[in-house]
Amino acid sequence: MNDFLHKLPQFIGNHVALVALFAILLLALIAMQIAELFSKTRTLTPAGLTLLINRESPLLIDLSARGDFEKMHVPGAKHVVMSQFDPEHKDLAKAKELPVVVMDKDGHGNSAKAAQRLVKAGFLKVHTLGGGVYAWQQAQLPIAKGNK
C-alpha cells in the first residue's frame, strides 16, 4: 500500500489527461446521483413496478407509438399519444393522489418529459419505467397485445 501511495503522484504527473477524464466522469456520476435523489420522479425497475402494481394499483400510461403499443405493452397500461398528453385533462386530474407510472417503448422517449409535466401539474407520486416496455419484456413479465 505504501508503494502505491508513493507512486501515485508520479502516475498523476505522467497521465494528467487520464486523471482529468476520471475526475470529470466521477463528478458527472455524483451529480447524476444527487439529481436523482432530489428529483420528484422515481425510476422503477420492472420488479419495482410489479411491487407497485401489487400494492397500490397505479395508473399506467404508455406513450409508445400506436404500433409499438399494439405489439406489446404492460397489462393494464393506457395508451396516450404524446401530442395529446395533457396532465390537466379532467380524467387524468382525478388521479392526482394515485401513483402514476409513465413509460414508453425503450425508456429514452417521452416518458421523462411527461413525468415532469405531471409533477408540474401537481401529481404527487410520479414514476417512470426505466428501460421502458423493453425492460419489462426482458424481465420476462407478462405482455399484453392489441389496443387494450
Q: What is the pLDDT of residues 56-95, one digit of tens each?
A: 999 999 999 999 999 999 999 999 988 888 888 777 777 8
Q: Per-residue pLDDT for 148 more than 70?
A: no
Nearest C-alpha neighbor of 61 from the set 39, 84, 90 = 84
Angle at 68 between CA 62 and CA 73, to 5 degrees: 50
Tell me the pTM: 0.75
* Average predicted confidence (pLDDT) for the chain: 90
Q: Per-residue pLDDT for 143 more than 70?
A: yes
- Could you tell me the sign of the dihedral formed by the alpha carbons of 92, 96, 98, 100, in that order? positive
Q: List, in sequence order, every residue forming a beta bridge with 62; answer none if it has no partner.
A: 79, 103
CB 125 within 8 A of CB 102: no
- The residue type of 62 is D
Mean pLDDT of 31-48: 87
Widest CA span in the chain: 68
